[in-house]
Amino acid sequence: MDDTIAAISTPPGEGGIGIIRLSGKGAIAIADDLFVCGKGDTGGKGAKLEKCGKAASSIASHSVTYGHIMDGQEVLDEVILTIMRAPHSYTREDVVEINCHGGLMPLRRVLDAVLRGGARLASPGEFTLRAYLNGRIDLTQAEAVCDVIRARTQQSAAVAFQQLSGGLSQRLDAISDSLVRVCAHVEAYIDFPDEDIEPSTYEEILNHLHGLRGDLSELSSTYERGRFLREGLSVAIAGRPNVGKSSLLNALVQRDRAIVTAFPGTTRDTIEEYINVEGIPVRIIDTAGIRAAADDPAECEGVNRSIMAIEAADLVLVVFDGTQDALMDEDISVIDKASAKTVIAVINKADLPIVLSSQIIRDAFKGDLPIVTLSAKTGQGLEGLRQAIFDLTMRCGCTSDKRCGGPCDKKGVLDSREGVLITNIRHKTAIDNTISALTQAINCLRGNTPIEITALELRSALNYIGEITGVVTATDILNKIFSDFCIGK
Ligand SMILES: Nc1nc2c(ncn2[C@@H]2O[C@H](COP(=O)(O)OP(=O)(O)OP(=O)(O)O)[C@@H](O)[C@H]2O)c(=O)[nH]1
Ligand SMILES: [Mg+2]
């Protein structure tokens, strides 16, 4: 943390501007050596500059200054320099941002000069790591930085922003503060072993612990919805050949992405696209039609890939041709492969007379499931499918039965009472560990266990919560979290 780090903070490629960021004690001194304020041509060696005479170190914090980055007499790039002095910066250290032209060469040349000037190339996420280590943000907020950058839909971004602005931390801090008070209460009895716990105090502590455990369970139960908003949902389109799977993919992505022909066995490889279903980022996967008679090696491999895609998907759309009044063996074979998954049945070709009944499908699946009738050709009924995907994913009107799913208020996902969703498996695991420790503490209190053991369980519950916000954190967890970041953030 004593050195100065630097990196290109904008993505590789060509753009209007590209930014090099420096952070650390030496950042402003390095800028002093390289930056010449004032107008001039950008014509390489011997360029004439009308210097304004202002050194980088004399530029006011949070202001921008026009000038050039020089390597001796050579102009490396025409830039805008921004200085943000500690502690009012992203990392709470002195930060310098150099806005260069957004191309590979200007950025590389300026970065090289900065590194020669004494900075070290930053590791992935190191700016955010410093922000965390210097106490500007906690660990959940640091993780949210990555989520904001990677968000694919407005809803995903909203959840990430909420975490970034401390929504989750505040909720956990409140629980943690309560737990500290209970802990202090219990530990007081360790210090005065002759005192017996009053029955009323006893009940009070137990009630309090039950309440906290309830709050945490509620938070933990939001994970499934939160995960889909953060990571997206994978949806495989499965079915026998020629039922209209590729047509359905094309209808959902609103362009001719996959080849459609009247011949069965058209699709061989799986094809993936992203769509936005009411804020849920959905990776939709078109697969080869499943049939046993596929003797062409490419089609056989396609069928294997279809089966793997079904197994890996969060949700499977099993497509049927609604113009046929009975299911074929090949349909049954697809149903067998998908029946362990969460399924929406799609009766396709509704622009033609539909003769396939929903009851036949329910019987084949041996139970109730959402069934949507649509036409991939005309788009009729497509909105119903999007709604069914949303309802099923967000468990609308649903409890533990994974196949249920009633109508659901779309806004309900984010306007939920608690307003905070758990989106990260690390947080969910720590919350579940906290719940287990609280359950142990409650059992200890109820049994005849020495009060010291209860106190230990409460301490371990506190530690688990601390792991989430980063109050208690092992180095390997930090390394894992920040290695996931891009360089320059
Ligand atoms: N009338 C009508 N025809 C459709 C509809 N959807 C697909 N088709 C036709 O059905 C045939 C097969 O469509 P595809 O989308 O290629 O079917 P697939 O399930 O991807 O077929 P494979 O890739 O061979 O497994 C084509 O002739 C499509 O035009 C629909 O909604 N209505
Ligand atoms: Mg196809």
pLDDT of the residue at 402: 43
Ligand 1 atom with the smallest distance to the CA of 288 is 25
Tell me, in angstroms, the distance from the centre of ligand 1 to residue 393's CA.
26
Residue bearing the CA closest to ligand 1, atom 7: 244
Phi then psi dihedrals of residue 113, to 5 deg: -65, -40
Strands 233-238, 15-23: pairing is: unpaired
- SS3 category, 224: helix
pLDDT of the residue at 30: 97
Q: What pTM did the predictor assign?
A: 0.80
pLDDT of the residue at 451: 87
Which residue stretches of 76-198 are H helix?
Answer: 104-116, 126-133, 139-150, 154-164, 167-191
pLDDT of the residue at 403: 42
83: β partners? 63, 96
Neighbours of 301 (CB within 10 A): 14
Tell me, in angstroms, the distance from the centre of ligand 1 to residue 291's CA.
16
pLDDT of the residue at 48: 64
CA distance 339 to 361: 12
Which domains can be identified in the chain, with CATH numbers? 5-122 (3.30.1360.120), 145-222+422-473 (1.20.120.430), 231-413 (3.40.50.300)
Cβ(107)–Cβ(20) below 8 Å? yes
Tell me, in angstroms, the distance from the centre of ligand 1 to residue 374's CA.
12
3-state secondary structure 418-480: CCCCCCCHHHHHHHHHHHHHHHHHHHHHHCCCCHHHHHHHHHHHHHHHHHHHCCCCCHHHHHH
Ligand 1 atom with the smallest distance to the CA of 286 is 20
Ligand 1 atom with the smallest distance to the CA of 241 is 25
Cβ(420)–Cβ(162) below 8 Å? yes
pLDDT of the residue at 414: 47
Residue bearing the CA closest to ligand 1, atom 32: 349
CA distance 247 to 427: 40
* Pick from 125, 140, 130: nearest CA to 486: 125
Phi then psi dihedrals of residue 472, to 5 deg: -120, 115
CA distance 222 to 163: 14
Residue with tokens 């900065």: 114
pLDDT of the residue at 411: 44
**Close Cβ partners of 147 (under 8 Å, ≥ 6 residues apart):** 156, 159, 160, 163, 164, 230, 423
Residue with tokens 């362990």: 340
Residue with tokens 């499931």: 369
18: β partners? 100
User: Pocket residues for ligand 1 (CB within 6 Å)?
Assistant: 239, 241-247, 260-262, 264-267, 288-289, 348-349, 351-352, 375-377
The tokens of 437 are what?
A: 């420790």
Among 242, 300, 346, the mutation site with the greatest number of ligand 1 atoms within 8 A of its Cβ is 242
Which bound ligand lies closest to the C-alpha atom of 265?
Answer: 1
Tell me, in angstroms, the distance from the centre of ligand 1 to residue 281's CA.
25
Residue bearing the CA closest to ligand 1, atom 11: 262
Which bound ligand lies closest to the C-alpha atom of 240?
Answer: 1
* Pick from 114, 107, 83: nearest CA to 10: 107
pLDDT in tens, the chain (489 residues): 789 999 999 999 999 999 999 999 999 999 999 999 887 655 555 556 666 778 889 999 999 999 999 998 899 999 999 999 999 999 999 999 999 999 999 999 999 999 999 999 999 999 999 999 999 999 999 999 999 999 988 889 999 999 999 999 999 999 999 999 998 888 888 877 677 777 778 888 999 999 999 999 999 998 988 998 888 899 999 999 999 999 999 999 999 999 999 999 999 999 999 999 988 899 999 999 998 866 788 888 999 999 999 999 999 999 999 999 999 999 999 999 999 999 999 999 999 999 999 999 999 999 999 999 999 999 999 999 999 999 888 765 444 444 444 444 444 444 443 478 999 999 999 999 999 999 999 999 888 788 899 999 999 999 999 999 888 767 777 887 888 888 888
CA distance 436 to 385: 39
CA distance 284 to 402: 20
Tell me, in angstroms, the distance from the centre of ligand 1 to residue 340's CA.
26
Cβ(235)–Cβ(265) below 8 Å? no
As separate numbers, helices (DSSP H) first and strands (DSSP E) second, the chain gives 16, 14
At 104, which amino acid appears? L
Tell me, in angstroms, the distance from the centre of ligand 1 to residue 226's CA.
35
